[in-house]
Structure 1
Amino acid sequence: MSEVGADDRVAEAARDAREAEARSSSCSSFLEDLDEDARHGGASSVDAVTWTEQSGLVDAATGVLERYRDVPGVSLEAAGYLDLHGNAWGALLSDNASWVDVVTVSAQVDDACSEVRVARMRAGGEDG
């Protein structure tokens, strides 16, 4: 496969994660909600959930990472701020077998509440 083809697949995966329709969830249930989507054999290789936390960005992101910490086999692949002002944060997590989660947390200007979105991308399609 050519490098252009690989770049196109990465761009397509990023677009799918960003644009996947997200259903409502919460920090306490998002992992179960994403697992449930997989068990029900959704038509898409990307499932997404979203919710609002009544806390600042750091607390919201910490809550999400604490939930992943309790899942055996999950690795934090990358994490960090996505903007210069500290209003957006993201992370990539993997179970090292079948999925990658793209997490984004964005804070309102006053940092009083945050919107969290998790998109789970699963291996699928012709390439596996």
Structure 2
Amino acid sequence: MHSTVANVLRDRNRNLHVVASEPSESAVLSGQPKGSHKIEGIGIGFVPPAWQPADVNEIQAATTEEAIQMCRRLAREEGIFGGTSTGLNVIAALRVAARLGPDATVATILIDSGLRYMSTEVY
């Protein structure tokens, strides 16, 4: 058995619900075909060798455009200057939070900075 972050966290909280996120345009973890997208660092078009599907309770997918819009929203409303993979993860976290309600605790990972996106349509 691999020692994944999910496993370590589950040792502390058996009720942990783990959600993976991926681009809708290349949702291979969800069994869809690979495709082109602009969410860097994620959605590589194949299932990574370290992928442990048993560690994940669900997979959330969002489009590149949704991730871009979330990047802009995070910068404008929260002062968080993130890239598209950060936008994708926040979308997934907000969907889960909406479903679980106001008493739930939801955490996500803000993966990257928006610096590399300054010369793109993101910013």
What is the TM-score when the length of structure 2 is the normalising length? 0.26
Higher relative contact order (CA 8 A, sep 6+): 1
Higher helix share: 2
Higher strand share: 1
What is the TM-score when the length of structure 1 is the normalising length? 0.26
